[in-house]
Chains A and B, each alone.
Chain A
Amino acid sequence: MEVVRMENIVKSYGEGSNRVDALKGIDLSIHQGEFVSIVGASGSGKSTLLHILGGLDSPSSGKVFIGDNDIYKYTDNELSVFRRRKVGFIFQFFNLIPVLNVQENIVLPTLLDSESIDMEYLNEIINVLGLQERKDHLPSELSGGQQQRVSIGRALINRPHLILADEPTGNLDTRNTKEVMDLLRFTAKKYNQTIVMITHDLTLASASDRIITIQDGKIISDQRLTAKESMTGGNDFDQ
């Protein structure tokens, strides 16, 4: 089942001679439950693509369908609600709210919905992320890996269909990178989520189902990896 469809997405900045084309006509379709890696050099347009996919930045032309809805027909309000309920973001710099503790940071998207908190699910997430001992700590009291786990929790709390990750391990050491990647893969499978991840680390990308390479604002390769090729490393959680 197709969850994401991009049609001829163009994004350009500036006018006239200053005009820079970040994306030059991207067509893309992503299926339910896929783990997609987007790779490309710095400035290739991969981040812009992810932002447009998540409703953070609007394209200059083209359409983005999530489910069956063209998200750039939404008003700013609807777009906010869409991000809140359907998308979970994970950033390179974890972007936690410094005055909130671990639990509060995780439940923030639910609070924005003025919904009551599903404590059972929250505890499940905290357990899966291995943050039981840390749930009352402030972000400043956590290591980088722990902070990134909190931000994964925040991305999961509203059970979104789509997880967008922008270099989620870019700021972590090798051990934490492995931990976070395993966790991402595990939770995606557990909650049947689609993941789109930006990375420039080919080793990480090779652990996904599909690698899309972008160069100068265009897709130059779209490679599906068979289960054999894909290095599934998430055995710690796969039981």
Chain B
Amino acid sequence: MILINSYKQLGTKYLKGNMKRTILTLIGIVLSVALISTIGLFMKGSQLSQIENSKKLNGISFHVGISNYDEAILNKVRFNPQIESFGLMSQGDIVPVGEVSVRINFADHHALNFLTYSLLDGKLPTNAHEAAIDSWLIPSIKKDLRLGDSFEMDGQSYKLVGLLNNSGFTQKNKEGRLLTYKSEFAIGEGRILIEINEKADFNEVLDELKSITEDDNIVVNTSLILALKPETNQSLLIMLVIVVSIVVISTIVVIYNAFQISVVERMKQFGLLRSIGATRKQIRQIVMKEAAVLAFIAIPIGVVCSLLALAILQAFFLILLDKGSDVSFFNIDWKILLTSSILTLITVLVSSYYPAFFAGRISPLLAISSRLSIKKEKIKKQNNKVLKKPFSFPLNMAIKNVKRNKNRYMVTILSIIISSVLFITFSSLMDIAFSSKLVNDPSESDLTIYLQEENNVSSENLEILEHLKLIKNVSEVSEQDLSFKIELKDTNQSIATVEDIQKSIGKKHDISVVNNFEEIKAKNEEALTIKVLVYAFIVIISLIGSVNILNTITISIMIRRKELAALKSIGMAQKDLKKMIIYEALIYGFSGSLQGIFYGCILSYILYTAASGLFNVEWSIPYNACIITFAAALLISYLSVLLPLRRIQQDNIIDTIREE
């Protein structure tokens, strides 16, 4: 049986019969799902990488530390169900070793777990005879000290099991860390380190902890908490809401336009269906069914696309970064995928509802005569007499066509405005983010050498500078106050270079060398991650915008096929017709992009103000983005008329005038 078995299949038949239109609409929906879920996954991924970064940068993963505690406080912490785990950590003596000194740190099992991120190599100590030390301390304690070797410190013998990462702070103060295990702590000794349950309300728990002790005794790991609970950050939330609403609005415009065209193209068919007895509801159902079918095809594709995009980015990072596995924003969060799918489904249904409603209202008389469709359009009368001379005839006609119907003008231009606004807002925000300290901190160099001599003679500095330049691995040296900033040729050799410097210059002068390499690397990786993600994001936004413009301009021309055929029949040359339509498209592109630029700048300023807590850079008009938008809008408008123009050229004049 090859017959269709329900009138609702009419919609599917139509979708199949108009593959080009269907694919264009599908692309619109696919891009929307992909964009929304990519935003979600990107947010989630960058949150995860921010958490990871915060832990790595500070080397700690606890949320709160409490010092000067008593038994009551310890018990409150122990029995608080909101607290995931807690550990104890204390500092012991400072032991001088050669030119530097070593601070002994004790931690119990749980506290050691919070310090995993400080570990550069090896493992954390598990008993009182094992220790982990800052890696820059090695030359001072014992040359050629390796993991597994034993060493003496303060009359104790330790087995070296791990190396801690080098923070600038300890190197500058010449006070390294030695971390060892201790199981029993006296009440009040050291600090309680606390990890709060991730599902708990952090503010509530923090308030509770603050109420049992004095504020001075509490240290809060703000950067980690901010990364863990971004919703406590108002400006981030506002930005997310605005971004998602823009995407939703642009989806609505794309889908609405696509459906409005497909309905307008089939007005006569719907009229016929009405005349042979279809109810309004049945007509609405046919259109809504089409929307649902498209959504169900497009949404899974969109989800796959967004995952694919993320996977490609991930692969890209694996190649780009020497330790790519550190940046793992590729994480499939079903909640985000589901939410964005449902959001898009609702958006598609909502935006196809008006076209469906409109289709239901089509009069059955339309099947018999097209009188009504002509009557319906209220053409704005213009006062200027006949066509004025100053412009060419096609241009004049184009201006009249654009001006004659306010609604159609608004719908067409709205899509261009929205696309422009999207592009400008995002690209300008990205510029701001990149130039702010949020992402870059260019003041850091690979190595910094601090001169710690009392009497500073500039000739000596010059001597050191010259000396530094001779060291093999140094590519650039600059002098700043009492320090030298060094850029390395091969950053992997940083530890050896530090040793070289200590050996040569350290003998004559009292210096401390700070190796910033690891901190910089972490920061650079973070910046690169954000940059790539953001540019990928902007590419998708631009794609959505282009499809949108293409769709609307195609509609605005196809709607008028009959009228254009009439113009040809009275002798308008193909060349002039083409000119007229191209002029129309350019007028749309021109005024749409100008308005888009205007609103885009305003929106980017609003977003900037909303997020001003995050950035510390002045807002300025994003000239580059504006120019790109303007040029792209004109180009896309021009390109979008080429296809419908070809179809119109192929139209048989008489057939088009007489029928549909």
Contacts and interface: CB of A to CB of B under 8 A. Distances in A.
Contacts of A98: 17, 269
Given A107-B3, A111-B5, A51 B368 contact: yes
Given A108-B7, A111-B5, A112-B7, A99 B367 contact: no
Interface string B261-285: 0000000110011111111111000
B659 interface: yes
Given A93-B659, A97-B10, A111 B4 contact: yes
B386 to A, nearest CB: 25
B23 interface: no
A81 B272 CA distance: 14
A230 B141 CA distance: 125
A160 to B, nearest CB: 10
B14 interface: yes
B197 to A, nearest CB: 56
Contact of A89 (B275, B281, B659): B275
A91 interface: yes
B276 A112 contact: yes
Interface residues of A, number: 36
A166 B368 contact: yes
Contacts of B364: 56, 83
B269 A114 contact: no
B365 A51 contact: yes
A164 to B, nearest CB: 10
A61 interface: no
B3 A95 contact: no
Contacts, number: 88
Nearest to B272: A95
Contacts of A54: 275
Contacts of B268: 95
Interface string A83-121: 111010101110101111001100111011110010000
Given A100-B13, A104-B3, A104-B4, A56 B275 contact: yes
A119 to B, nearest CB: 9
Given A77-B279, A99-B17, A108-B7, A136 B272 contact: no
Nearest to B18: A99
Nearest to A54: B275
B3 A81 contact: no
Contacts of B2: 136
Interface in A56-84: 56-57, 76-77, 80-84
B153 to A, nearest CB: 86
- Binding site of B, secondary structure by majority: helix, strand, loop or mixed? helix
Contacts of A80: 274, 277-280, 282
A112 B367 contact: no
A112 B273 contact: yes
A83 B277 contact: yes
B146 interface: no
A91 B659 CA distance: 13
Contact of B367 (A84, A91, A113): A91
A97 B4 contact: no
Nearest to A81: B277
Q: In the complex, which range does the number of interface residues on chain B fall in? A: 20 to 34
B650 to A, nearest CB: 15
A35 B113 CA distance: 96
A81 B279 CA distance: 7
Contact of B279 (A76, A93, A166): A76
A47 interface: yes
A84 B278 contact: yes
Contact of B10 (A85, A92, A100): A100
B472 interface: no
Contacts of A83: 275-277, 364
B560 interface: no
A136 to B, nearest CB: 7
A3 to B, nearest CB: 18
Nearest to B7: A111
Contact of B276 (A57, A92, A109): A109
B16 interface: yes
Contact of B282 (A97, A112, A117, A136): A112
Interface in A123-154: 136, 154
B6 interface: yes
Candidate in A54, A99, A103 with the most chain B CB atoms within 10 angstroms:
A99
A89 B365 CA distance: 12
Contacts of A95: 268-269, 272, 275, 367-368
Nearest to A47: B368
Nearest to A93: B659
A97 B279 contact: no
Nearest to A91: B368
B513 to A, nearest CB: 78
Contacts of B363: 56
Contacts of B273: 97, 108, 112
A57 B365 contact: yes
Interface string B342-363: 0000000000000000000001
A112 B5 CA distance: 10
Contacts of A117: 3, 5
Interface in A156-179: 166
Interface in A3-55: 47, 51, 54
Nearest to B11: A99
Nearest to B271: A95
A47 B368 CA distance: 10
Contacts of B275: 54, 56, 83, 89, 95
Candidate in A56, A107, A136 with the most chain B CB atoms within 10 angstroms:
A56
A154 B365 contact: no
Candidate in B4, B268, B277 with the most chain A CB atoms within 10 angstroms:
B277
Contacts of A89: 275-276
Contacts of A77: 279-281
Contacts of B17: 98-99
A47 B275 CA distance: 14
Contacts of A103: 3
A80 B7 CA distance: 15
A13 B269 CA distance: 25
B365 A56 contact: yes
Contacts of A104: 3-4
Nearest to A95: B272
B293 to A, nearest CB: 14
Contacts of B280: 76-77, 80
Interface in B384-435: none
B287 to A, nearest CB: 14
Contacts of B272: 91, 95, 97
A93 to B, nearest CB: 7
A100 B17 CA distance: 10
Candidate in A80, A113, A136, A154 with the most chain B CB atoms within 10 angstroms:
A80
A6 B5 CA distance: 37
Contacts of B7: 108, 111-112, 114
Nearest 9 CB-CB pairings of A with B: A84-B277, A99-B17, A80-B279, A83-B277, A111-B7, A99-B13, A95-B272, A56-B364, A112-B7
Given A51-B365, A91-B367, A98-B269, 10 more contacts: A56-B363, A80-B274, A83-B276, A97-B10, A97-B272, A99-B13, A99-B14, A100-B4, A104-B3, A109-B277
28 contacts: A51-B365, A56-B275, A56-B364, A57-B365, A77-B281, A81-B277, A83-B276, A83-B364, A84-B277, A89-B275, A89-B276, A95-B268, A95-B275, A95-B368, A97-B10, A99-B17, A100-B10, A104-B3, A107-B3, A108-B273, A108-B276, A112-B273, A112-B277, A112-B278, A112-B282, A114-B6, A136-B2, A154-B276
Interface of B: 2-7, 10, 13-14, 16-17, 268-269, 272-282, 363-365, 367-369, 659
Interface of A: 47, 51, 54, 56-57, 76-77, 80-85, 87, 89, 91-93, 95, 97-100, 103-104, 107-109, 111-114, 117, 136, 154, 166
